[in-house]
Structure 1
């Protein structure tokens, strides 16, 4: 009965829960879904993390390679994120070239890296103008149940904190790079950005919007909007993020 009503009248279905200050899954409007993190889940990667935000699951693998620094920034390395939304994570996506949503997600992650300065690209330079690290950050959505940008940001941060790069020196005689695999060090993560999605539905505000944010009014106008955050809930979420990253084996 409830499933049929949700399908026929989705807006009214959620309005009834909104009046009671709760959601269909029992959470309050400002309550976030449970988050779990498994760090180091890909043995072949230089750093990795699997994040589950409710039913949404994203895995991030980081691969470190050598590259020549860009000519206009000879003292910097690279961080190259890519978000993949395969058909296995949701029936909304199709196989083939990255769709618009995947491209938007990749650009969002790139903007987070750049604007938050979580990693200074200068820290990835090995020898100015000669050699630098490039970090390929591949994020794959395994299950898409809303808040994909939140999960991607969380997975990226956890995976980068898991990365260990070997010591690299340039041989002055041969001009070749010499890698010391016995001496590795973690990346210098300078900030810890947290992505938190909110949706405005009628007069109510929902944190951790999930798939409900995909509702549309007649005419195609999406019911979500705004990025206003409840201070108390956001602080609690940031504490939860730091707890999971510092204690990854959950």
Structure 2
């Protein structure tokens, strides 16, 4: 009976639960779902990880390829992220070109990488104006159940920390490179940005770590990205407004979550 009620009146179904200060899955408003991180999941990638937040599951694979630096930035390499939201992960997505949501979230991930400065693009340069590394970072969502950006950023940090680039000797006189696949150097990851998503329900109730059902019914959504104690990025794509006090409260809740996420990443990397 509850399933039929939820299907016919989803908003009222949630309001009935929230009026008793609990969510349909039994969580408090500021309670986060369990998190799992597994690294080195893909043997054919230069770095990889799988992150699971609740049921939301994202695979991140990184492939390093040679490229020529841009003329305007001759001493920098490249990072190219891409998020796929296939029909496999949710009925809301259809086969074909990337959806608008996938493109928006891909750009958000690119902004997070840039703003957090977790990777110094200059360290990806092998020889100025001639040769550099390009890191293609592909995310594939296997199960879309809310807070997908949080899972993407978590899998990204796990995958980046497993990247080992081969040493390269380059002779510009003859445009020749010598790649030593046996001698690999760990990628220098300068920081660990952590993403936390909140939604606004009925313009007044703030819920942490939303499910897909909660995101579909929300009147607003905000993603807080922290780089240590530093606020790295706030993504608020319209919807209900947050007061300054409510925004600061979201930031504080995100900060309290940081130690557990950082410990999870370190535990996953322990045997790498």
Quick check: TM above 0.5?
yes
In structure 1, runs of 5+ residues without a counterpart are 217-221
Contact 2:77/2:133 (8 A) holds in 1: yes
Is the contact between residue 31 and residue 233 of structure 1 (CA under 8 Å) also seen in structure 2? no
- What SS is found at the alignment partner of 1:197? strand
TM-score (norm 1): 0.92
**Structure 2: gaps (5+ residues):** 224-246
8 Å CA contact 1:86, 1:141 repeated in 2: yes
Could you give the per-residue CA deviations for residues 4-33 of structure 1, whole angstroms, max 9, x where no partner exists? 221222222112222222211111110111
Partner of 1:209 in structure 2? 210
Q: Structure 2: how far apart are the matches of 1:66 and 1:175?
A: 13
Answering whether residue 263 of structure 2 is matched by residue 247 of structure 1, we say no
Establish whether residue 120 from structure 1 lines up as the match of residue 112 from structure 2: no
Give the secondary structure class of the aligned counterpart of 1:230. Answer: helix
The match for 1:19 is 19
CA distance in 1, matches of 2:160, 2:46: 9
1:55 deviates by 0.3
Select the structure that is richer in strand.
2
| Cα pair 1:30 1:230 within 8 Å, conserved | no
1:1-250 aligned at under 5 Å gives the runs 1-171=1-171, 174-202=174-202, 203-216=204-217, 223-226=219-222, 228=247, 229-231=249-251, 233-248=253-268
1:119-138 CA-to-partner distances (Å, cap 9, x unmatched) read: 11111001111100000001
The CA distance in 1 between the partners of 2:113 and 2:120, in whole Å, is: 9
**2: CA distance, partners of 1:226 / 1:151:** 15
In 1, the alpha carbon distance for the partners of 2:6 and 2:28 equals 19
Determine the C-alpha separation between the residues in 1 that align with 2:252 and 2:197. Answer: 15
Aligned-partner SS, 2:159: helix
Distance (Å, rounded) in 2 between the aligned partners of 1:119 and 1:138: 16
Contact 2:48 2:159 (8 Å CA) reproduced:
yes
Higher relative contact order (CA 8 A, sep 6+): 1
Once the two structures are superposed, residues 55-84 of structure 1 have per-residue CA deviations (whole angstroms, 9 ceiling, x without a partner) of 000000000000000100000000000001
CA-atom RMSD, angstroms? 1.8
